[in-house]
């Protein structure tokens, strides 16, 4: 089999901005992949190619489409679709930069993803199984996880139910407050998340607060303080009939790079608290929060280049709370290796568009897991209804995923795909 054609069109993401849908054909069998986009992006991420100019406020992706239809197609059409690493390497060499700035990470990722989906379709196997096959064939599997290769791990799901930071027009500093249901099945946990989400809406209405939504589908009210976030969430959990800390845990994404200020003595500015804190003071605040509330995971608790602060945070609370690096690691093996060497963080957030190809994403997962760091597969704030990451988290067995609220099509597409995979595995034991 050979790649016979590539194509791409400009579509809209969940924020109404342009992005790419890429289509690939393997001997006439098609696969498609839609590229997500972030809002609070790390400065070390691979670069999207945007058009500039007046159309779509400069956010158009016609140049990336031209690169796919032109030089990338010239390179890739006719190649073996099942050697994804060779395809990804060819595109990276053609681009010639460390951050994919010439062809665009959005163009390269779109092709890498679409070829992966088309290949699975051509083989007539589920996408998660094909991703597992790629991972195994690179020699990654047995060294990473102590499970049989014919087993699949269904992930814990981190549901974003309250938005703040750059994902909402409110005064809440914490970018994401998530609930993590603790039952065994995807179906049970989605039921819990949905019920608490609707319970939270009722709680907010009862307090005459806004039930408008942020970028990722969570509610985005103005609140008196950041700690008020946890109080309303705990109330919603209780009124939905669940016990916090037992049935449901809490996780947060602080996105601390966004609140770090060089202009204010390198402090982290908590606007709703009216304070500026240094790294150690902020870590003390996290420790206090985790003592008071059932918080099991903190993402981006410190900024992307505060390596000393991350080391201190890991030493102080990393044995009790999962410390996830997003902007810190940007799914980049070089930065992940630095985190491993320096003892910064205990988990890596995996976002495929941060690194820009599927095989480089698998390399990042492999590096983290073999060094005893956990991983969490993640959506972006600018999403599409593409459900690729649901298959990715099952195929790699990393055991954790976040995809926003249990509401809105671009978020529920991933959760619904996990329901389908769970049902498929039950019926095909």
| Per-residue pLDDT tens digits of the chain, which is 429 residues long | 999 999 999 999 999 999 999 999 999 999 999 999 976 566 788 999 999 999 999 999 999 999 999 999 999 999 999 999 999 999 999 999 999 999 999 999 999 999 999 999 999 999 999 999 998 877 665 555 555 545 899 999 999 999 988 766 778 899 999 999 999 999 999 999 999 999 999 999 999 999 999 889 999 999 988 899 999 999 999 999 999 999 999 999 999 999 998 776 789 998 888 889 999 999 999 999 999 999 999 999 999 999 999 999 999 999 999 999 999 999 999 999 999 999 999 999 999 999 999 999 999 999 999 999 999 999 998 999 999 999 999 999 999 999 999 999 999 999 999 999 999 999 987
- SS3 at position 273: coil
Q: CA-CA distances (angstroms) from residue 354 to 43, 223, 252, 366, 415?
A: 10, 32, 20, 16, 22
Rounded Cα–Cα distance for residues 372 and 367 (Å): 9
Residue that the structure tokens 């976030």 belong to: 229
Q: CA-CA distances (angstroms) from residue 15 to 107, 403, 411?
A: 19, 15, 12
Contact 311, 336 (CB under 8 A): no
pTM: 0.95
Kindly list the strands in the beta sheet with 267-270, ordered across the sheet, starting from the edge strand earlier in the chain. 260-261, 267-270, 275-277
Rounded Cα–Cα distance for residues 88 and 113 (Å): 10
Structure-token pair, residue 141: 């599997």
Q: Hey, which bits of 174-266 come out as E strands?
A: 176-181, 248-253, 260-261
DSSP state, residue 122: H
CB proximity list for 71: less than 8 A, separation 6 or greater? 94, 103
Rounded Cα–Cα distance for residues 71 and 162 (Å): 43
Contact 312, 301 (CB under 8 A): no
> Could you write out the three-class secondary structure of 358-412?
HHHHHHHHHHHHHCCCEEEEECCCECCCCCHHHHHHHHHCCCEEEEECCCCHHHH
Whole-angstrom Cα Rg for the chain: 21
Contact 415, 385 (CB under 8 A): no
Rounded Cα–Cα distance for residues 245 and 114 (Å): 40
Rounded Cα–Cα distance for residues 280 and 308 (Å): 10
Backbone torsions φ then ψ of 179, nearest 5 degrees? -105, 145
Contact 332, 354 (CB under 8 A): yes
β-strand pairing of 322-325 with 295-299: parallel
Rounded Cα–Cα distance for residues 238 and 225 (Å): 21
Residue that the structure tokens 């939270």 belong to: 200
- SS3 at position 282: helix
Specify the pLDDT at position 194. 98
Contact 392, 362 (CB under 8 A): no
Angle formed at CA 41 by CA 268 and CA 313, multiple of 5 degrees: 40
Specify the pLDDT at position 367. 94
What is the per-residue DSSP string for 47-115? PPP---SSGGGGT--HHHHHHIIIIIHHHHTTS-TT-HHHHHHHHHHHH-STT-TTT-HHHHHHHHHHH
Specify the pLDDT at position 44. 85
Catalytic sites, residue numbers: 216, 351
Specify the pLDDT at position 42. 65
For helices 358-370 and 127-137, angle between their N-to-C axes, nearest 10 degrees: 60
Q: Which domains does the chain have, with CATH numbers?
A: 3-124 (3.30.390.10), 141-427 (3.20.20.120)
DSSP state, residue 219: B
Rounded Cα–Cα distance for residues 268 and 382 (Å): 25
Specify the pLDDT at position 274. 84
């Amino acid at each position: 089999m050979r790649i016979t054609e590539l194509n791409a069109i400009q579509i809209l993401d969940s924020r109404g901005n342009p992005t790419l849908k890429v289509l690939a054909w393997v001997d006439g069998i098609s696969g498609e992949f839609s590229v997500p986009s972030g809002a609070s992006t790390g400065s070390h991420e691979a670069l999207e190619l945007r058009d500039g100019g007046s159309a779509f406020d400069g956010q158009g992706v016609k140049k990336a489409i031209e690169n796919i239809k032109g030089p990338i197609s010239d390179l890739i059409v006719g190649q073996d679709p099942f050697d994804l690493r060779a395809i990804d390497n060819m595109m990276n060499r053609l681009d010639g930069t460390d951050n994919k700035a010439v062809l665009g990470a959005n163009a390269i990722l779109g092709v890498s993803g679409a070829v992966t989906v088309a290949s699975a379709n051509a083989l007539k196997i589920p996408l998660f199984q094909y991703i597992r096959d790629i991972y195994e064939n690179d020699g990654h599997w047995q060294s990473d996880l102590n499970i049989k290769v014919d087993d699949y791990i269904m992930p814990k799901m981190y549901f974003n139910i309250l938005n703040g930071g750059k994902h909402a027009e409110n005064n809440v500093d914490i970018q994401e407050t998530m609930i993590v249901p603790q039952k065994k099945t995807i179906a049970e946990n989605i039921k819990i998340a949905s019920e608490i989400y609707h319970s939270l809406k009722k709680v907010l209405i009862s307090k005459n607060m806004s039930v408008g939504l942020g970028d990722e589908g969570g509610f985005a009210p103005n609140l008196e303080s950041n700690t008020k976030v946890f109080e309303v969430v705990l109330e919603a959990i209780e009124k939905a009939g669940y016990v916090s800390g037992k049935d449901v845990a809490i996780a947060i994404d602080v996105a601390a790079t966004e609140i770090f200020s060089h202009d204010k003595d390198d402090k982290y500015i908590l606007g709703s608290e009216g304070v500026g804190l240094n790294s150690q003071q902020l870590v003390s605040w996290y420790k206090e929060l985790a003592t008071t509330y059932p918080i099991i995971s903190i993402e981006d608790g410190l900024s992307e280049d505060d390596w000393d602060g991350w080391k201190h945070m890991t030493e102080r609370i990393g044995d009790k709370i999962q410390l996830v690096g997003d902007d810190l690691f940007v799914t980049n093996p070089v930065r992940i290796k630095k985190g491993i060497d320096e003892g910064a963080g205990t988990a890596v957030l995996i976002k495929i568009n941060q690194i820009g190809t599927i095989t480089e994403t698998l390399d990042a997962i492999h590096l983290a897991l073999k060094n005893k760091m956990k991983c969490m597969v993640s959506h972006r704030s600018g999403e599409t209804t593409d459900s690729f990451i649901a298959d990715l988290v099952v195929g790699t067995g990393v055991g954790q995923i976040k995809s926003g609220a249990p509401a809105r099509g671009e978020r529920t597409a991933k959760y619904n795909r996990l329901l389908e995979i769970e049902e498929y595995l039950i019926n095909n034991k």
